[in-house]
A and B are shown apart, each in its own frame.
Chain A
Amino acid sequence: MKEPILELSHVSKTFYSSKTGEIPAVSDVDLDVSEGECVGIVGESGCGKSTIARMITRITDVTEGKILLEGQDITKVEERDLKKIYKKIQMVFQDPYSVFSPRMQVGTFLEEGLVFFGISSRSQARKEAETLLHMVELSPELLDRFPHELSGGQLQRVVIGRAISMEPRLIILDEATSALDVSVQKQVLKLLVKLQKRLGLTYLFIGHDLAVVRSISHRIVIMYAGIVVEEIQSERIEQAAAHPYTRKLLESVFSVHDREKKKIVLETLTMQDSGYERQGCPYQKRCPFVYDRCKTEKPDLVDYGNGHKVRCFYFE
């Protein structure tokens, strides 16, 4: 087993609101990512997956816990030293347009980072930017273009290009292909895999589409209501996933092939189905297998070997 590049231990984030009090957005999350690996985080909106990304990049502070990047606890790094971390961790967001200044040409966008972090001199930066475009399979002609002249897919490739130009230890991809059309999405995913293999990159891939996350990840972490409910090798997810919520996610995927076979199990929605239970398992209200015990005790994340961890009494 290689040393993990990233290690989260007992990380929690609590938001406070005057109306509802404490909101535990992320509770006691342990997570590790090794060199050259792609770990996927899957969950629905509000499950805390983006909050995790924001804590790793220090956009948001942790409430509790440690985040180790190559052994160094980045939650303790002083503000003035953050620049060093920003170089090591790069992030790609869902909407590439939001990353650009509308008046900044693609070339300038790529050169800026290279010069700022001292990766290349101002005179060499142009050449370097050209190489980067080549790596993300775009024509060097795009260097002089403005963001609105590029398609969403092209722009996301530029953002990926800038991310790899930092020679980062970790790239966080937060719904990085979710806004793209299907044909473009697949192309960008392929590019990410190629770059990973060629450059030995390490990814944390956050998404809501289980099929997509499975396709690009070696391991998948499934989150519900701020808690990791299951962790599994991605090739085994369909056969071996055990948590009722993971099974529910698998059932909810619509494939073009299961037209007639598929049965939808109906759930009644109430106004208190948030999952942020004070007591017991967060999934208890939606779970078809709920015991008395699930309503009073919080299950632990139990390691069943082979990289498979499940947080569920029913499975124990």
Chain B
Amino acid sequence: MEIIRADHVSITYDGIKNAVNDVSFSVEKGQIIGIVGESGSGKSTILHGIQGLLPRTSARKGTISLFGKSIDDMSAAELKNIRGRDVAMIFQDTGRYMNPISRIGKQYTSFLKLHEKKSHAELVALEKEMLKRVHLEDADRILHSYPFELSGGMRQRVGIAMAMSLRPRLLLADEPTSALDVTVQAQVIYEMMELRKKYGTTIIFVTHSMGVAAYMSDIIGVMQSGRLVEWGKTEDVISSPREEYTKSLLGSIIELRDERLITTI
């Protein structure tokens, strides 16, 4: 089943003409897609475009379809219902999108209430269950904390728990591990991979790390100044990239097994 289809999508945004430039792709159910590129390549803009979350000042050409229906044909109410329930999003630093002066439990519950008609007690039970699933201990204490009291890795796991509470069909993740410490990054990647394993969630994530993209995704898309220059199976993109740009990106990665720069220069 086709989850997303982008047809010749161009987006002018923030005064940047064609921040996304004539991009087309299609994503099947259960696929994990990694979109890589350098800063300003338009990779985050694409994610926002999929959700119909771009500011009013932006302009889009081409069509984006979600679950077989163009988002332009959806009413505002329909789109609102899809967001959060069918399509969830996690950001680079989930903490920044939380209310700093409201306890996590309160924010979590008010989010769930938007979509679920359940009693307060049932919602709290769901919250605890989800926190446990992303391997956070002492759920009670976390729900009673303010966002700043948690470490970045914990907040990010809370973000994943919240995003997954309603069993979305599609998870969009914008640099979900970039703000995290390396040992925690691995943990968050694990949680995201588990989602597909358990629920068949389709995931599209944006990253600047080729290593992370290679590890997580079935398909890698490479963006360069608004264009989707390469799109293919991860193995193929890594071992035999077609585009010069992809080759240069791969050539710039510094790996543990490489000769060190101090010995080669």
* A interface list, Cβ under 8 A from B: 38, 44-45, 181-183, 185-186, 189-190, 193-194, 196-197, 208-212, 214-218, 234-235, 238, 248-259, 262, 264, 266-271, 273
The digit string for B88-100, where 1 denotes a CB below 8 A from any CB of A, is 0000000000000
- Report whether A186 and B260 are in contact in the complex, using a CB–CB cutoff of 8 Å: no
- Report whether B211 and A217 are in contact in the complex, using a CB–CB cutoff of 8 Å: no
- Report whether B181 and A193 are in contact in the complex, using a CB–CB cutoff of 8 Å: no
Stretch among B1-9, B47-55, B131-139 lining the A interface: B131-139
A249 to B181, CA, bound (A): 10
- Report whether B255 and A183 are in contact in the complex, using a CB–CB cutoff of 8 Å: no
Q: Which of B123-154 contact A (CB under 8 A)?
A: 135-138, 141-142, 145, 149-154
- Report whether A208 and B182 are in contact in the complex, using a CB–CB cutoff of 8 Å: yes
Chain B interface mostly: helix
- Tell me whether B121 is interfacial, beta carbon within 8 Å: no
- Report whether B256 and A269 are in contact in the complex, using a CB–CB cutoff of 8 Å: no
Task: Report the minimal beta-carbon distance from B167 to chain A, rounded to whole angstroms.
Answer: 21
* B interface list, Cβ under 8 A from A: 38-39, 135-138, 141-142, 145, 149-154, 157, 181-187, 189-190, 208-212, 214-215, 234-235, 238, 248-250, 252-258, 260-263, 265
- Report whether B190 and A264 are in contact in the complex, using a CB–CB cutoff of 8 Å: yes
Partner of A256, one of B150, B190, B211: B211
- Report whether B265 and A190 are in contact in the complex, using a CB–CB cutoff of 8 Å: yes
Task: Report the minimal beta-carbon distance from A254 to chain B, rounded to whole angstroms.
Answer: 3
- Report whether A259 and B214 are in contact in the complex, using a CB–CB cutoff of 8 Å: yes
Among all A-B residue pairs, the 9 with the closest Cβ atoms: A254-B211, A44-B181, A181-B38, A183-B252, A256-B214, A252-B182, A264-B190, A270-B137, A182-B252
State the total of A-B contacts with C-beta under 8 angstroms: 140
Chain B residues within an 8 Å CB radius of A44: 181-184
- Report whether A255 and B211 are in contact in the complex, using a CB–CB cutoff of 8 Å: yes
A215 to B253, CA, bound (A): 11
Partner of B215, one of A248, A250, A262: A262
Given contacts A235-B260, A264-B186, contact A182 B38 (CB under 8 A): yes
Partner of A215, one of B208, B248, B250, B254: B254
Chain A residues within an 8 Å CB radius of B142: 271
Given contacts A208-B182, A257-B255, A269-B187, contact A182 B135 (CB under 8 A): no
Given contacts A182-B208, A209-B182, A271-B141, contact A255 B257 (CB under 8 A): yes
A208 to B185, CA, bound (A): 12
- What are 15 contact pairs spanning A and B, CB under 8 A? A44-B183, A181-B39, A183-B248, A186-B252, A190-B261, A196-B262, A215-B254, A217-B262, A235-B260, A252-B182, A252-B186, A253-B211, A256-B210, A259-B214, A270-B137
Chain A residues within an 8 Å CB radius of B39: 181
- Report whether A256 and B262 are in contact in the complex, using a CB–CB cutoff of 8 Å: no
User: Which A residue's beta carbon lies closest to that of B132?
Assistant: A268
Task: Report the minimal beta-carbon distance from B111 to chain A, rounded to whole angstroms.
Answer: 21
Chain A residues within an 8 Å CB radius of B265: 190, 193-194, 197
Beyond A215-B258, A235-B263, A254-B211, list 12 extra A-B contacts (CB 8 Å): A181-B39, A193-B261, A215-B262, A218-B262, A256-B238, A259-B238, A267-B135, A267-B183, A269-B137, A269-B151, A271-B142, A271-B150
A209 to B256, CA, bound (A): 10
User: Which A residue's beta carbon lies closest to that of B149?
Assistant: A271
